[in-house]
């Protein structure tokens, strides 16, 4: 089997595990609040710490993957690290340890994404790079869908300490590490830039800033809605827990498929055009997924809206592909990791702010407002994105 296939499989599975561990906590906010004496702002901070840790991990390990360790080693370290700290979360002796473990989990999540996506991109044949990145990013939908499967499975035993065993499934991605260790054959000399090469990151400040803004919009539009969706659906709209799990399962199966579809469509219509069209359609589905008024909070309508919203989030793989195509190889790891995870940080901060300033009765309004604002930011950023495939120098 060709090396890029193993790179694609390893990166996709590691990314799926990354997302599984990131989002699984959103299902058990009430249990965490009770077990660790937290309020809603506290559990949203817990979620955000995972994203904040990603910025740190993406920056540090991005440099290491470019110049010291190589993509494969960072992928292995990142996947093993977030799996181990994910296992420690449900057995935290206090809220302080809970927050520390979550932050460290995020650091290794940032390492994994930084190395995995770039590894697959660099090893893919020239005519398949967009498609391969779309497959890797489909791991997002796979990971989120698996959280819904786990939630439905553990739902009957969630009371008592059952939620701890549900959260402990965060360790499962550790099983990917042996396969990646054996099958990935990346040569260090092919992945590490010579120390004599000293790329100036400041020369790529403009594209990094633009990418960070676009990624921030992408993360806010997704995380603010989907992180809070279980709370809105169950506590505000009265959606049964089983129907919530089914909605998120279907939505993320659709998301996974659309990641791959968009990867193919990008080769025909272009990435920027597809992102712009997707953003317009997402603006239509926001008020269906999260109704602005209680009278429209029909579980069936919300399910349709959420699935539609997930469908057009399929543009996600196109965003990091635009970036890695726009910068030279010697700074690709650090810039892609930095901008992607800065976007995640902003999304996390937005989630925390929503948790602080909103109540169960106003949460849906804040989610709608921030989603619409962030989608508008993405639209404007894409209109001004550089049209050249590679940005050279300044």
> Quick one: pLDDT at residue 198?
56
pLDDT confidence bin for 189, thresholds 50/70/90: very low
Count Cβ neighbours within 10 Å for each residue of 185-205 and write b for 16 or more, e otherwise: ebeeeebbbeeeeebeeebbe
Say what the pTM is.
Answer: 0.75
Per the prediction, the chain carries an average pLDDT of 85
The pLDDT score that the predictor gives to residue 369 is 94
By the 8 A CB rule, do 195 and 67 touch? yes
In sign, the C-alpha dihedral spanning 363, 50, 315, 59 is: positive
So what's the pLDDT on residue 191?
46
Q: What is the pLDDT of residues 306-337, one digit of tens each?
A: 999 999 998 888 887 788 777 777 777 677 77
Please give the Cα distance from 246 to 174 (Å, whole number).
26
Q: Which two tokens stand for residue 79?
A: 């996947």
In percent, the amount of the chain with pLDDT more than 90 equals 37
As a whole number of angstroms, the distance between CA 214 and CA 134 comes to: 18
Residue 357: is its pLDDT beyond 80?
A: yes
CA distance 251 to 234: 17
**CA distances, 25 to each of 31, 68, 106, 116 (Å):** 10, 33, 13, 23
Smallest CA-to-CA distance from 134 within 321, 307, 275 is with 321
Q: State the average pLDDT over residues 206-218.
A: 88
CA 163, CA 156: separation in Å to the nearest integer?
10
pLDDT at res. 289: 94
Tokens of 255: 């998301």
Q: What is the pLDDT of residue 77?
A: 93
Q: Which residue segments constitute the domains of the chain, with CATH numbers given?
A: 3-186+202-383 (1.20.1250.20)
Region 212-231: mean pLDDT is: 87
Q: Average of pLDDT values for 241-268? A: 87
Question: Can you tell me the distance from the alpha carbon of 181 to that of 66, in angstroms, rounded to the nearest whole number?
Answer: 19
375 neighbors 268 (Cβ within 8 angstroms): no
- Stronger pLDDT, 6 or 126, i.e. the higher one: 6
Residue 200 binned pLDDT confidence (cut-offs 50, 70, 90): low
Task: Give residue 389's Cα distance to chain centre.
Answer: 24
Most confident of 28-37, 205-214, 349-358: 28-37
CA distances from 240 to 152, 337, 340 (A): 12, 38, 34
Does the pLDDT of residue 352 top 90, yes or no?
Answer: no
Whether pLDDT at 392 is above 50: no
Q: Using an 8 Å Cβ cutoff, are 276 and 378 in contact?
A: no
pLDDT digits (tens, 9 = 90+) for 362-387: 888 999 999 999 999 999 999 988 76
| The predicted structure's pLDDT at residue 14 | 95
Residues near 248 by beta carbon (within 8 Å), at least 6 away in sequence: 144, 145, 147, 148, 151, 226, 229, 230, 306
pLDDT at 149 over 70: yes
Question: In this structure, are residues 323 and 130 in contact, taking their beta carbons and an 8 Å threshold?
Answer: no
b/e map 57-86, b = 16+ CB within 10 Å = bbbbbbbbbbbebbbbbbbbbbbbbbbbbb
> Looking up tokens 């539609």, which residue turns up?
308
Q: What is the pLDDT of residues 89-135, one digit of tens each?
A: 999 999 999 999 999 999 999 889 888 888 888 888 877 877 888 88
Contacts of 336 (CB under 8 A, 6+ apart): 62, 114, 117, 118, 320, 323, 324, 327
Task: Please give the pLDDT value at position 391.
Answer: 39
């Amino acid at each position: 089997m060709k090396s890029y296939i193993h790179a694609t499989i390893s990166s996709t599975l590691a990314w799926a595990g990354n997302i599984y561990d990131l989002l699984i906590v959103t299902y058990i906010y009430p249990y965490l609040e009770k077990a660790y004496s937290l309020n809603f702002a506290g559990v949203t901070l817990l979620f955000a710490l995972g994203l904040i840790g990603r910025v740190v991990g993406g920056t540090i390990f991005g440099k290491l993957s470019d110049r010291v360790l190589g993509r494969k080693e960072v992928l292995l370290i990142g996947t093993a690290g977030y799996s181990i700290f994910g296992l420690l979360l449900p057995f935290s002796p206090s809220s302080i340890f809970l927050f520390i473990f979550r932050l460290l989990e995020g650091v290794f999540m940032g390492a994994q994404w930084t190395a995995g996506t770039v590894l697959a991109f660099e090893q893919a044949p020239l005519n398949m790079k967009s498609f391969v990145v779309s497959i890797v990013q489909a791991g997002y939908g796979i990971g989120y869908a698996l959280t819904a499967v786990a939630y439905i499975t553990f739902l009957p035993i969630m009371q008592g300490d059952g939620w701890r065993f549900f959260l402990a499934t965060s360790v499962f991605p550790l099983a990917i590490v042996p396969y990646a260790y054996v099958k990935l054959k990346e040569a260090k000399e092919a992945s590490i830039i010579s120390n004599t090469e000293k790329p100036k990151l400041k020369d790529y400040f403009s594209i990094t800033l633009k990418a960070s803004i676009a990624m921030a919009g992408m993360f806010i539009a997704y995380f603010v809605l989907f992180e809070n969706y279980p709370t809105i659906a169950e506590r505000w709209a009265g959606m049964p827990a089983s129907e919530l799990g089914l909605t998120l399962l279907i939505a993320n199966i659709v998301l996974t498929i659309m990641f791959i579809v968009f990867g193919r469509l990008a080769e025909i219509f272009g990435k920027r055009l597809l992102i712009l069209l997707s953003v317009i359609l997402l603006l239509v589905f926001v008020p269906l997924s999260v109704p602005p008024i209680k009278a429209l909070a029909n579980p069936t309508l919300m399910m349709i809206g959420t699935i539609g919203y997930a469908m057009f989030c399929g543009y996600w793989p196109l965003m990091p592909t635009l970036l890695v195509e726009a910068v030279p190889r010697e700074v690709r790891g650090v810039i892609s990791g930095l901008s992607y995870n800065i976007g995640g940080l902003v999304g996390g901060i937005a989630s925390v702010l929503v948790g602080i300033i909103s109540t169960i009765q106003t949460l849906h309004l804040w989610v709608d407002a921030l989603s619409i604002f962030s989608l508008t930011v993405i639209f404007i950023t894409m209109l001004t994105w550089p049209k050249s495939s590679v940005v050279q120098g300044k």
